[in-house]
Amino acid sequence: MKNVVFIFLLISIVSYSQETKKSDPAESRMLGQTIRNTNRSNNKVKGSPYVQQMFAVAKVENITQKSIMRYNVFDDQFEFISTTSDTLIMDKNPDFSPIVFSGTNKKYQLTQYTNNTGKLFYGYLIHLYEKGDFALLKKENIIFYEEKPAKTSLEVTQPARFTKVGDTWFLKNKDKVSEFPESKKQLIKLFPDHKMAIETFVKENKISFDIESDQVKLVNFVSAL
């Protein structure tokens, strides 16, 4: 099965290369800086800043031709292979959002959002589901740990590493995007005029706020309030 997937990706990339012999005028507006090696990218570092290490075919909004891209989760940025075969970082430009990977239909949306402390961010969230004015989005998370040298001969040096940690879900309510409520209490706080309806719905449907399928149910529910 892995061989089949690899062959599919290889064919896609070859096809892309054939299609992009003529440069796309819009591509020049995508350009950020060239990828440069950093201390976090050497061979001694364990793990990866990517969920998907390989480049893959993607459709970028307002770009005619398909692009070869990958998403750097740790740095929250997209890397792409230009028509001149350079690996570049794409600027965070709303003109080039969303980005949809062809093989998985995974859709990244450039979004302004706040975390549970109210801090404002501008980055890429995965668009999972939408109903009316509401949508469910998700942020992938990877943490970087610096090398931890051994302090004594009895200890072992811990190498620098990237570690994938739990995803963070977000609720879009019209133009406002904030972390998805983690409990019935938090949901009621968002919709205080519908306290009784929320309590009934959560109880009857045995809703778990950390299960994606139940989060979809909640999006459907709040969109009908």
pLDDT tens digits along 121-163? 999 999 999 999 999 999 999 999 998 888 887 878 888 999 9
Q: How far apart are CA 67 and CA 58, in angstroms?
A: 5
Q: How confident is the model at residue 155, as a pLDDT?
A: 79
Residue 69 near residue 79, CB atoms below 8 Å? yes
pLDDT band with cut points at 50, 70 and 90 for residue 223: very high
Q: How confident is the model at residue 153, as a pLDDT?
A: 78
pLDDT per position as a tens digit, 81-114 = 887 888 889 989 999 999 999 989 999 999 999 9
Q: How far apart are CA 66 and CA 64, in angstroms?
A: 7
Whether residue 18 has pLDDT greater than 80? no
The segment with the largest mean pLDDT, out of 4-8, 60-64, 220-224, is: 220-224
* Tokens standing for residue 173: 């309510």
- Longest pairwise C-alpha distance within the chain: 63
Q: How confident is the model at residue 71, as a pLDDT?
A: 96
Residue 86 near residue 34, CB atoms below 8 Å? yes
Q: How confident is the model at residue 60, as a pLDDT?
A: 93
pTM of the full structure: 0.81
Q: Which residue has the tokens 């019935």?
A: 184
The closest of 197, 221, 220, 217 to 208, measured between CA atoms, is 217
